[in-house]
């Protein structure tokens, strides 16, 4: 399942960018995480959170 950002939950902390070893995640001008086509759906960014800011369901 594709990883998606819940824009109402994302606070722009950048943790997801720190956890993913590639450049598949960036921040937009509103400090909301954006998942690019480079995402491999590995789940590392999802596992980095105790919130629902990024999910794979």
Whole-number percent of the chain with pLDDT over 70: 95
pLDDT surpasses 60 at 1: no
Q: At 46, which helix (H) or strand (E)?
A: helix 44-47
* pTM confidence score: 0.76
d(CA 3, CA 57): 7
Per-residue pLDDT tens over the stretch 9-28: 999 988 888 877 678 889 99
Whole-number percent of the chain with pLDDT over 90: 25
Q: What angle do CA 29, 32, 36 make, to 5 degrees?
A: 95
Question: Which domains can be identified in the chain, with CATH numbers?
Answer: 4-55 (3.30.70)
For the chain, the average pLDDT equals: 85
């Amino acid at each position: 399942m594709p990883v998606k950002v819940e824009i109402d939950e994302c606070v722009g902390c950048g943790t997801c960018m720190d956890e993913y070893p590639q450049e598949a995640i960036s921040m937009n001008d509103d400090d909301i995480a954006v998942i690019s086509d480079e995402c491999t759906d590995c789940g590392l960014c999802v596992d980095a959170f105790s919130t629902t800011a990024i999910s794979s369901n």
